[in-house]
Structure 1
């Protein structure tokens, strides 16, 4: 019987946190061989322990002489308090110098929290990702507990129960698990065991796949055997694959180094969300570029002075010209650039200037895909600024945002909004609130919003709102957003004196608490449509993925933005078909699908079919089994089923004697004429319909009534 001692430090919890708890605290320990202790209750009958900033000592006994050095500690509690756990330090009475410290620094609520031991031991831990496929035959599944022992050149994991709190090992299913253990080296074999649970204990396993490391190593074990309940089964000779490591390229020597600033003017809507590039030209006419000045983000805002650094690896004479352009992406794309200043420095220390600063004065609106080139002037030389034109704003919106009058309804977070018209045209994201600059969205407040955009919308159909959760109070109790289109912005006097915001407003009701990081949609439920999304993963070993998958479905009436598609159980398995039903706005005619995923798995996607359940239209997004990696993938839509979208009409029988018929008449084709069809197209369709009427009339005249 081994006596263990544990010293537990409760944290401070931070602002507005009580940190301590009177709840029951439990833990469970795992050693480096995967052996696990029973549940350990850290008993505190007097409820004097686990107070804020306190250190409490406990002891417990465990009767297992083979239990080794500690690897992992799991902690959970029973009760409703939030407990801020700092650290847990374990020692054995027989060897107090061998200590095992676990650093948590986390508030424990209702879920279990686990940590690996501090120090060098944790550095040797491997995360093994396991995919177990049960054969797709009757009676292949099992209700017995399944364990897996991975055996390699450096040791073994010992039997680990495969359990992810789901209904695993059903016929035809692929179940995914994760085992963390010391590195066993080159994997040589595995041992699968099934507990005897009586009825339905026998299990037919098809295969086991083990992945780990970076670059990733993969071991595929073909099992294809029945494992009887209460027995074990050894599998040898795995198929092995390993990704090629990415070899770092040897950097080329830098021949020229520039440092400077980009100054955006202080004009209204002067900043840009677009991707900006520049080309540098020397006095001999040589041009180098494009050089990324900005990828879509937070730089180049109105009135900003952003630092830049540029390194050139090509020979380059004295800097003479600078060309700027952007791709127009984002809502605020047009950019009013004031000037760019660049100074060349020594490549040795990047501190000693080489020559005078060069100033490129623009003072103009830079339009999308319309480059502007300027010649350098030595800093200090005067140049007459241009009188730039104001952007061509086409939409002006005025409105108010009402926050609920309840405790903690206000928010300190950054808030953004999209506005969509009934045709799916989108304005946004619009910054409704900046946590660093604004004290709006307080409890019970009504905040005025004014939006101008170069995008023209016909009406106000819906708004979507999201916040980032920053600040002490993040969740936001949003009541309503009210908006209306105007021809020009009113003055403050007009808003206050003329009761401007109480007439002609479109009211979007939310009446809910908005959590961070999620888009909330105000669209009427009556306007929503159920879409069935069927995802077909390609067949073959390693075609599936453990990563989180997100889709952005784009139609001619709107887009969903990125949403996660995940069913209970494991999705995106090799050769698997996953079905999802989403209630979305009516996207109209689907145009494309954008896919992104987390993690480094390579997912081989065969195709995706999306069906509008309201009218049975169906679109195919065919990826032909190509790999989907971490970057976004865009797939065009092909409509393969038109559902209820057909032309219906009447067939008129002529008034001739005996023109009627008892015969069965069939029409094998439909004619579709576009709403904007040319006169020639309409004439051809009319001739086709006339020929149909003649044929039907002839068929009917063959039968004497």
Structure 2
């Protein structure tokens, strides 16, 4: 009775006024990723069952999403961090999040540090600070909290698309497997990181189809996949028949057929990794080729190496994966002034090549190596791509790096110092009065220069309603096109007798040499005039950068890394620390952060490193990890700052978490996104 008078329910939560809640009977179901951090105080953990409700505009909300702990865990322990993935209704833009539990006993008291909610399909993550009790007999007595999105900090994360993946195991004796299976997906617009396919009981058994959902980066259309096994488990061999992937947004289907063993002991190939090209409507998306790799060691004293050398080639359709340069035309490889030739047949073609990554393992009595260049020939294309180096890969020479990224020199053949051709495609609106019989003119506003006035002559009935007309002009190179001016002018300079307009819907400018496209949404009436004194201006709203243009931006850049270890007890680490950087131009690969004669990553310490790599463009994320070696391997990382020394742009990646197998969530790697 007393609770009722106070306006409390039986769980001592404040009663809410009843209101109609909009629940979508039918709508898209999307994944929500939750991370919950429990406080460090005594009795901070709980045995209660925890739930989340997400609310969007117009009070549209999900069902109660229960965050059940995995098998083997029965409570939220003090100082831990737990991750969950739940599927619920897409409520649109998140407005509020409710976090609560069903416990009413003293054992169900729970101290929550913070809650993060990531929506991969929207590319956004919300972090809600809490730092309060959800307990009947602690704090304010509430077992649920309502968080407003305005009180959260938001981070842009990788946007994902949901695919349905069906994996078919072959109908062969011993075809099923217990091993771990990994998948990497490549598309026309990038690639994913390697993902482990969840085993979940009796998956991947003989003559069986297993279907599950995959969150894949927005890289469609898909081109190929790479499948890898680690040969663990009591049945390490696997006969893979095929994999079918379906984009749940577009319903596009991609078939990847293998019909062979992944095994160290079975089948003709004896391999643990395979690459499969996509087939769409019986058309192969990628053709097969043979790559001939020619490696020229320099004519410099001590240029040869005894180390094991590895290569990765990058192109339009992803990368080759790691290629060990083992079987050369020469018995003694990588000797001074010698050219070694390696052949890799039955490879999926990467199309036009952009860069290579070459490194060695620093083993042998003389591991230092001076590389002059590497040539990569695609036999199917009958084209050779050159990658000049002329530098050391040595710990005790040059900058001490044993990994180099080399840009393709072929792309330097495009000379933009002279005139460049531009194609201008205009689309006239579909309204009745949209067309014109007169001429138009346009000026392109580039980042480097401004073009002259180009007259779009109305010959052969151009600018008709709904029509797209193309014109081509030459100009000095203007750089990135930021804006355009469009005018509407009479033929032969005749005076305008009555008001007239041309309604242009869209203009697309294509830079012919590089293939960059610039889109201008106009949907405006351009007034007719006798002189070029009346015009409208429009800004570029979308740019599609061509592969050739991206490759031209691949120039060596030195990046400075500032790594700050937190000022917490036991924050320092003795482990080897590695970093991978991801930008719009690709990734850096896994780089070891090391320095001679310095004790790195100690409590409260700031460490500085400089690494050279090809320009990554705008930085998207970094992955920081350690190898868990040493007597004190746990590490509390405060943040990482990355500065492109060529343009002095600094990107800050906040962490504020443990990388420790015995603390928080037990993970020893973190993916960090920029804070601007």
Name the TM-score class by shorter chain: 0.3 to 0.5
Structure-2-length-normalised TM-score? 0.38
Larger Rg belongs to: 1
Structure-1-length-normalised TM-score? 0.37
